[in-house]
Amino acid sequence: MTAVTVKLTVNGREVELSLEPHERLVDVLRGRLGLTGTKMGCGEGECGACTVIMDGQAVLSCLMLAVQAEGGDILTIEGLAPDGSEAGLHPLQKAFVAEAAIQCGYCTPGMILTAKTLLERDPDPTPQVVKEAIAGNICRCTGYDKPVKAILAAAAEMRAAAQGTTAAATVTAAAIGAPEAVAVPGNVSTTTVAERGES
């Protein structure tokens, strides 16, 4: 077969590959790019171990030809903590460790990436919503209780971090006793005590 040139963005890095049309995305990520955090399980789209994020959506890389990902922006588990340090771990990764939600670890990358897409569209999911979201990620070790707890804990941490950022940005002059508004970073309106009608 004739090789095809495919351009992708993988974990923030642009790559150009010469591929056979039949090569699956999972094989390209693991074999050609060395991103072995993406696991190969059933090969039939049933277990979720090969889940990656492409253009913001969780996809099963064992069911996708690499040529179908042309122009796509792909995130693998390695892209969540690109510097590899524990301090740089994503809140989901930290929560999976803290909640002992990792046993053999084979399902973990796919489950974390599935959870990431869930929390991006629903920052405050119920336990039932989490269970439904990860239903396609088979885990034979944990019984799902600890992964669900980890995802909920990460969601709470991410919400708190987002609220902390907002709260920090809304500091006003009134809070520090000054008569005029203080310039703050971000797109946040500030008011003085007088403008609020407070004494």
Within 8 A by CB and 6+ apart from 196, the residues are 174
Q: What is the pTM of this model?
A: 0.81
Are the CB atoms for 26 and 63 separated by under 8 Å?
no
Residue 107 has pLDDT above 90, yes or no: yes
Residue 113 has pLDDT above 80, yes or no: yes
Helix (H) or strand (E) holding 38: none
Please tell me the distance from the alpha carbon of residue 47 to that of residue 175, in angstroms, as a whole number. 53
pLDDT given at position 198: 42
Structural domains of the chain ordered from first start? 1-80 (3.10.20.30), 81-199 (1.10.150.120)
Residue 179 has pLDDT above 50, yes or no: no
Residue 177 Ramachandran class (φ > 0 left, ψ -120 to 50 alpha, else beta):
left
In this predicted structure, which of 33-37, 123-127, 164-168 has the lowest mean pLDDT? 164-168
